[in-house]
Amino acid sequence: MTQTRDDERLVGADRVLAVLIALAEHPEGASLEEVALHVGATKSTVHRALATLRRSGLATQPGRGIYALGDEFFRLAFRSYASRPEGLFVKPALEELARRFGETVHFAVLDGPEVVYRAKVDPPVGAIRLTSVVGGRNPAGVTAVGKLLLSQTVTSKAELRALVGDKYAPRTPHTIVTANALWEELKLTRERGYGVDDQESELGVNCIALPVRLGDELPPIGAISISALAFRLPLDQLLQRVDEVRSVIAEFRGRPELLDRKA
């Protein structure tokens, strides 16, 4: 008997969560009929779930017959996200990529003309460790993560010059050293959706970077990069696996339980 009651409560909780998710898909509000259709339940069932959500402040009724997410939902979500370390948020993806590629993986954010490394995972075995550290900085224009994030935020060559200057000291013979050349690289980066460092920051090390987003239509909160030793994983081979990197980021984003699934 106890087991039956527990199962019933679980089903009820699942339905409430389904209704909550449905409301998130309708930011301008949805009718009872629309929500019921979305979750595949009767209107009476959805109405009870909405009543539960309204009592907790997670849903509201801004108009007659219209329901939307409540202020309490956003308060909890924003407070939780604001206090959550970004490195923890992306750590499952970093660990999985380091395991698959056998190379060092970083998560970085843009801070003015520089990138700041917020998390780093070295491969579990068999690789030379890079000297990068969490909290370390690099000029954005010489890194794959920096170019990727600049391509998503800088909208003109004039804006780029104002942010990072017109000419830059070379790190290697491959470093982009002018705003004109960097702007062309940013346009290419924006088109293809990933950033590339072809031994521009350090000789012998190449890198690709892809954005991390909380939603498909939202701006990136940062970028994940794989830094590979060129003699072991040449850039052309790294580029052939861009879709694999993109898939891992999407699949593991905020879902550490997926680390139990083998590739």
Q: How many residues in total does the chain contain? A: 263
Query: How far is the C-alpha of 183 from the C-alpha of 231, rounded, in Å?
Result: 29
At which residue do the structure tokens 């698959």 appear?
A: 100
41/88: higher pLDDT: 41
Instruction: Render pLDDT for 100-133 as a digit per residue (tens, 0 to 9).
Output: 888 889 999 888 888 888 888 888 776 566 667 7
Contact 109, 149 (CB under 8 A): yes
This prediction's pTM: 0.66
Please, how many CA atoms are within 13 Å of residue 156, restricted to the half-sphere of its CB? 3
Of 148, 182, 185, nearest to 165 by C-alpha is 182
Predicted confidence at residue 260, as pLDDT, reads: 40
Please, how many CA atoms are within 13 Å of residue 209, restricted to the half-sphere of its CB? 36
Q: Rg of the chain's alpha carbons, rounded to an integer? A: 23
Please, how many CA atoms are within 13 Å of residue 176, restricted to the half-sphere of its CB? 23
What's domain 2-79's architecture? Answer: Orthogonal Bundle (1.10)
pLDDT at 256 over 60: no
pLDDT at 5 over 90: no
Query: How far is the C-alpha of 105 from the C-alpha of 96, rounded, in Å?
Result: 9
Phi-psi region at 40: left, alpha or beta (left = phi > 0; alpha = psi -120 to 50): left
pLDDT at 85 over 70: no
What's domain 84-260's architecture? Answer: 2-Layer Sandwich (3.30)
The residues spanned by each domain of the chain are 2-79, 84-260
What's the mean per-residue pLDDT of the chain?
Answer: 82
Predicted confidence at residue 201, as pLDDT, reads: 84
Query: How far is the C-alpha of 22 from the C-alpha of 15, rounded, in Å?
Result: 10
Calculate the dihedral angle through the C-alpha atoms of 117, 121, 123, 128, rounding to the nearest 10 degrees: 40
First to last CA, the chain: 41
Query: How far is the C-alpha of 207 from the C-alpha of 19, rounded, in Å?
Result: 42
Query: How far is the C-alpha of 246 from the C-alpha of 250, rounded, in Å?
Result: 6
Contact 149, 210 (CB under 8 A): no
pLDDT band at 80 (very low <50, low <70, confident <90, very high): low
- Asked which of 19-33, 41-55, 176-190, 203-217 is least confident by mean pLDDT, the reply is 203-217
Instruction: Render pLDDT for 13-47 as a digit per residue (tens, 0 to 9).
Output: 888 899 999 998 888 889 999 999 988 888 888 89
Predicted confidence at residue 190, as pLDDT, reads: 92
